[in-house]
Amino acid sequence: MTPRTGHRPQMSVEEFEQLERHAPETVRLEFVSGKVRVKAVTDGNHDQIIAWLQRLCMQHRPELWLYGDRGLKVETYRKGRARPDGVLAPFGFPAGHGNWSDAQGVLMAVEVTSYDDDTHQRDRIDKPDAYAAVGIPVYLLIDRDDGTVTVFTCPEAGRYRQQVNKPFGAEVKIPHPVGITLDTEPLKELAD
């Protein structure tokens, strides 16, 4: 996907991958919408939210696994690189893929907002478009800033055509192909 601003990418995908390989472990880099982005290192509550979701996915869909920080090739023609907080796919999905997997077979990408200046652009604007562009059926955004869970579905022409937004504490249905329902009450305590 070409950046909406019409500007050229900051670098090629190959240059980004080389940069990312040499970045320190304390830095998580992504290349979305032609821009290198530094993703905040997660805090304990962020990690606990992913663990909570991983447990629920295992209980309801034991043939799947929620892979944390799995690198994905995203956007049209795989010109982007993202590290979702979670990637729900069949168990064994990343075997043999190296650092970056094609999105084929991914059922859901998950992001939990971080408390940084870039989270609005990254998690609420760029990531939904990038994940829709490669046909990931569901994008789940757990937004700690406003205490909501948003389920994006029906990817078409680089955009999710449907989204459902619920406050923490509500029951959230994640439709086919994921097919699970989340009781989001525990998220109220983990929003900080």
> How many whole angstroms separate alpha carbon 158 and alpha carbon 41?
28
Check pLDDT > 50 for residue 70: yes
In which domain, by residue range, is 96 found? 44-76+83-190
State the number of CA atoms in the 13 A half-sphere of 109 facing the CB: 32
Q: How many domains does the chain have?
A: 1
What does the block give as tokens for 48?
Answer: 């606990």
- CA 89 distance to own-chain centroid: 12
Digit-coded pLDDT (tens) for 113-164: 887 776 767 778 888 999 999 999 999 999 999 999 999 999 999 999 999 9
Q: Mean pLDDT, to the nearest integer, of 3-8?
A: 54
Phi, psi dihedrals of residue 165, rounded to the nearest 5°: -120, 125
Residue 112 inside a domain? The answer is yes
Residue 100 inside a domain? The answer is yes
> Is 132 in contact with 159 (CB distance < 8 Å)?
yes
> How many whole angstroms separate alpha carbon 3 and alpha carbon 109?
21
Residue 121 inside a domain? The answer is yes
Q: Mean pLDDT, to the nearest integer, of 6-23?
A: 79
Check pLDDT > 60 for residue 1: no
Residue whose token pair is 């090629």? 12
**Taking the model in full, what pTM does it have?**
0.83
The pLDDT, as a whole number, for residue 78 is: 66
Residue 17 inside a domain? The answer is no
Average pLDDT of every residue of the chain: 88
What does the block give as tokens for 102?
Answer: 């094609």
Residue 156 maps to which CATH number? 3.90.1570.10
Residue 14 inside a domain? The answer is no
Residue 186 inside a domain? The answer is yes
Strand order across the beta sheet in which 108-112 lies: 64-67, 86-90, 108-112, 138-143, 148-156, 159-167
Q: What is the DSSP string of 61-110?
A: -TTEEEETT-EEEESGGG-EEE--SEEEEETTTTTT-TTEE-STT--EEE
Q: Mean pLDDT, to the nearest integer, of 29-57?
A: 84
